[in-house]
C-alpha cells in the first residue's frame, strides 16, 4: 500500500468532510478516490452500517483501498455514477464528493505523461483502458481543433500560432514524446516556459480525459441521486471547472429548457447553495501543500 503523502495529500480535507454533514448510517460517494485521503476521513465518521462507494477510473488507485467492508470500489468514470450505483442496488445517497483533476501520483509518475518535468510518451490518460492519448490528439486534430482546445481549456494566449506550429512540425516528424513536443514548439513559447507548458499540458489533459464532459454528466445526475438533505461537495482546481460547478448550482441543471423554467419560476432549484463564495485553503494549508493553492470547494444541499 502507498503512503498517503507519497500518493496524494488530500486538499481541503476538514472543510470537505464538514461539507458532507456525514450521518453515521448514511451512504456516501467519493467520486475521485485517488490516494483515499478523503475516503478514509469519511469512513472515520461513518458507523458500522454506513456505506461508501469510491469511484476512480485509474486502476492504480485500487492499491490504496482500505480493508473495510463498508467500502465498495467502483473502477469507473464518475460520469456513470447512477448506472453503477444502480448496479449495486442503490438509488439514493446522502452525500457526493468530487475532488477533481489528477492526483500527485499520476503527475509524479513519469510514464503517465502528465508532467513536463520528465520525458515520456505524450499519454495523459487517467483511465488506461481508454485508447485516445495526447499523442493521438496532436497527430489527428485539425489546426482549428488544436487552436480551440488550447484557447478554451488552457487559456493559452497564442493558441492559434501554437496550433499552426504543431501542424507544420508534425508533417515533418511525428510528435510522440514530451521532448518531441517541447522541441516542436520551442520557437513559440511565450513568457515563462514553465507556466506556458503548464497551460498547454492542462488543455491536452482536459481534452484527453474529456474532463468537462465527465463533470457535466456527473453534476446533471446529482439531483436524482441525492436524498433530501443530501450534500454535494465539489473541489475544483481552475477557473473553467469552477465556472461549470457554479453555473450548475444556480439552477441544478444544464438542460436549457429546464434552466429556463427555473428562471421563469416554474421549477424550483433543487439545491440550496451552502457556499455563496467557494471555500479556499488556509494560508497554512497552501504552505504545507502548494498543490492546494488553486483549490475551491463549493457545497450545496438537496431541498
Ligand atoms: C485529485 S485526485 C483525488 C485525490 C483524493 N481525494 C485523495 O484524497 O487522495 C483525483 C482522482 O480522481 C480520479 N478521476 C478524475 N476524473 C475522474 C473521472 N471522471 N472518473 C473517475 N475518476 C476520476 C483520478 O484518476 C485521480 O485518482
Ligand 1 center–CA 77 separation, angstroms: 9
Q: What is the DSSP string of 240-293?
A: HHHHHHHHHHHHT---HHHHHHHHTTSS--SEEES-SS-B---HHHHHH-GGGT
Q: Name the residue with the closest Cα to ligand 1, atom 20.
A: 77
**Location of C-alpha cell 453503477:** 84
**Ligand 1 atom closest to 97 (CA):** 6
Q: Which helix (H) or strand (E) holds 75?
A: none
Contact 132, 216 (CB under 8 A): no
Ligand 1 center–CA 32 separation, angstroms: 3
**Ligand 1 atom closest to 32 (CA):** 12
Q: Which residues of the chain have pLDDT under 70?
A: 1-5
Contact 297, 273 (CB under 8 A): no
**Ligand 1 atom closest to 79 (CA):** 19
Query: What's the confidence (pLDDT) of residue 2?
Result: 39
DSSP single-letter state for residue 191: S
b/e map 93-124, b = 16+ CB within 10 Å = bbbbbbbbbbbbbbbbeeebbbbbeeebbbbb
**Ligand 1 atom closest to 34 (CA):** 27
The set of protein residues with a Cβ atom below 6 angstroms from ligand 1 is 8, 10, 32, 34-38, 55-58, 61, 77-79, 99, 101-103, 126, 214
Ligand 1 center–CA 35 separation, angstroms: 8
Ligand 1 center–CA 106 separation, angstroms: 10
CA 250 to chain centre: 20
Query: What's the confidence (pLDDT) of residue 3?
Result: 43
pLDDT in tens, 6-30: 789 999 999 999 999 999 999 999 9
Residue closest to 166 by CA, chosen among 152, 146, 145, 190: 146
Residue closest to 121 by CA, chosen among 202, 197, 175: 175
Cα atoms found within 13 Å of the Cα of residue 213, Cβ hemisphere only: 8
Query: What's the confidence (pLDDT) of residue 4?
Result: 47
Can you name the residues that pair with 31 across neighbouring β-strands?
none
Contact 154, 241 (CB under 8 A): no
Ligand 1 center–CA 256 separation, angstroms: 29
**Location of C-alpha cell 456516501:** 28
Q: Where are the alpha helices (DSSP H) in 130-251?
A: 134-140, 143-154, 159-172, 178-185, 193-208, 211-225, 239-251
For the entire predicted model, the pTM comes to: 0.96
Contacts of 302 (CB under 8 A, 6+ apart): 223, 226, 227, 228, 229, 230, 231, 232, 270, 271
Query: What's the confidence (pLDDT) of residue 32?
Result: 98
Amino acid at each position: 500500500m502507498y503512503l498517503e503523502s507519497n500518493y496524494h495529500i488530500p486538499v481541503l480535507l476538514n472543510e470537505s468532510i464538514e461539507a458532507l454533514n456525514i450521518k453515521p448510517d448514511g451512504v456516501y460517494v467519493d467520486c475521485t478516490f485517488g490516494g483515499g485521503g478523503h475516503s478514509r476521513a469519511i469512513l472515520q465518521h461513518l458507523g458500522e452500517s454506513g456505506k461508501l462507494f469510491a469511484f476512480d477510473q485509474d486502476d492504480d488507485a485500487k492499491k490504496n483501498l482500505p480493508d473495510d467492508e463498508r467500502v465498495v470500489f467502483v473502477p469507473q468514470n464518475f460520469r456513470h455514477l447512477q448506472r453503477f450505483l444502480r448496479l449495486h442496488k442503490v438509488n439514493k445517497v446522502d452525500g457526493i464528493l468530487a475532488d477533481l483533476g489528477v492526483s500527485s501520483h499520476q503527475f509524479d509518475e513519469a510514464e503517465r505523461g502528465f508532467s513536463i518535468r520528465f520525458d515520456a510518451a505524450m499519454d495523459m490518460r487517467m483511465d488506461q483502458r481508454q485508447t485516445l492519448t495526447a499523442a493521438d490528439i496532436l497527430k489527428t486534430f485539425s489546426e482549428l481543433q488544436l487552436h480551440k482546445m488550447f484557447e478554451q481549456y488552457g487559456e493559452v494566449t497564442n493558441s492559434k500560432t501554437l496550433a499552426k506550429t504543431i501542424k507544420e512540425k508534425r508533417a515533418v516528424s511525428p510528435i510522440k514524446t514530451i521532448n518531441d513536443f517541447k522541441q516542436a514548439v520551442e520557437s513559440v513559447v511565450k513568457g515563462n516556459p514553465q507556466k506556458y507548458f503548464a497551460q498547454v499540458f492542462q488543455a491536452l489533459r482536459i481534452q484527453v480525459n474529456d474532463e468537462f464532459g465527465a463533470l457535466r454528466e456527473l453534476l446533471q445526475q446529482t439531483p436524482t441521486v441525492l436524498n433530501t438533505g443530501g450534500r454535494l461537495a465539489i473541489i475544483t482546481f481552475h477557473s473553467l471547472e469552477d465556472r461549470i460547478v457554479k453555473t450548475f448550482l444556480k439552477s441544478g441543471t444544464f438542460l436549457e429548457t429546464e434552466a429556463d423554467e427555473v428562471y421563469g419560476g416554474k421549477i424550483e432549484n433543487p439545491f440550496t447553495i451552502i457556499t455563496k463564495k467557494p471555500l479556499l485553503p488556509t494560508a497554512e494549508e497552501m504552505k504545507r501543500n502548494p498543490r492546494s493553492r488553486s483549490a475551491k470547494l463549493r457545497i450545496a444541499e438537496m431541498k
